[in-house]
Amino acid sequence: MKSLTTANNRNSNAILVVKDIAVNRSGKLILKDINLTIERGEFVGLVGPNGSGKSTLMLTILGILKSHRGSVSIFGHQPQASLLYGKIGWVSQAASNLPKDVRLTVRELVQLGTVNGKNMFRFADGGRKEQVDRAIKMVALEDVQHIDIARLSGGQRQRAVIARALASKAEFILLDEPLVGIDRDARNSLLKLLDGLCHNEGKTILMVSHDLAAIRQTAHRMVFLEETIRFDGDTEDFPDLVELADLRGIGPVHGLAHAIHKEEE
């Protein structure tokens, strides 16, 4: 925990600083003593068993849930400050993320990323068209941009949602289980895309996944969460399952392996 404290104090290039937060939901303590600093350009994988509080932490970072102690600061502001608009991209499971009753083409969906309170009624100025073109190209969906999103595969749909975040010029992209429901090839191309966003575009990424193998393959840094942060460090130092079981203070390893390696859908 010592190195964490140091990282929190340094925070020169920090995009996210979570200090000592605790979060209750329906009167039950879900997260406690959470300290997490993320610097610009990092790709951080957030892992942990089902129900360990990963989504709760994401929602707290986004300002949707409130911590009852400690503080969260993104780009030096409190979550949901109007200044943050467009700087943060949020991607959850594609299936639950997209409107089911609205007919929308891929391009229209991506365009929505460029809409904010200020330009809502000024359609298609030049800069925004370029932004949309670029975002669609980055996720390689040019060929299907005029197709209804309902007709896309899971992997394509997930890329479309990421393009929406990219079109908004979000610098910090948070993804909650983006790999669920997409096949292996689509998963690999998605991971490659995210990796490229960090390395070539200077984006910062925090991605939740219970797919340990997939996340290890891409993230530079891993955070293991179960009520509190039990590991935070370089991916190559991420403990094996036996050590993880020790961190969690439990005996049988099979239960853990089962819990964090949910079968691929």
Ligand X SMILES: Nc1ncnc2c1ncn2[C@@H]1O[C@H](COP(=O)(O)OP(=O)(O)O)[C@@H](O)[C@H]1O
* Binding residues for Mg ion (CB under 5 A): 54-55
- Residue 5 binding: pick among Mg ion, ligand X, none (C-beta 5-8 Å cut-off by kind): none
Say whether residue 55 binds ligand X (CB under 6 A): yes
Site for ligand X in 187-226 (CB under 6 A): none
Nearer to ligand X by C-beta: 51 or 255?
A: 51
- Residue 78 binding: pick among Mg ion, ligand X, none (C-beta 5-8 Å cut-off by kind): none
- DSSP summary character for residue 186: H
Say whether residue 53 binds ligand X (CB under 6 A): yes
The distance of closest approach from Cβ of residue 236 to ligand X in the complex, given in angstroms and rounded to an integer, is: 24
Say whether residue 51 binds ligand X (CB under 6 A): yes
- CA-nearest of 70, 83, 3 to 33 is 70
Helices (H), the chain: 2-10, 54-61, 94-97, 106-112, 126-138, 154-167, 184-201, 212-218, 241-247, 253-260
Place of tokens 């990796």: 195
Q: Which residues lie across from 69 on neighbouring strands?
A: 22
Polymer length in residues for the chain: 265
- Residue 30 binding: pick among ligand X, Mg ion, none (C-beta 5-8 Å cut-off by kind): ligand X
Range in contact with ligand X (rule: CB under 6 A) among 22-30, 33-41, 114-122, 180-188: 22-30
Q: Which residues lie across from 243 on neighbouring strands?
A: none
Which of 3, 12, 26, 200 is the binder for ligand X (CB under 6 A)? Answer: 26
Place of tokens 């390689």: 140
The distance of closest approach from Cβ of residue 11 to ligand X in the complex, given in angstroms and rounded to an integer, is: 25
Token pair of 232 as six digits: 């935070």
How far is it, in rounded angstroms, from Cα 111 to Cα 117?
Answer: 14
Residues that bind ligand X (CB under 6 A): 25-26, 28, 30, 48, 50-56
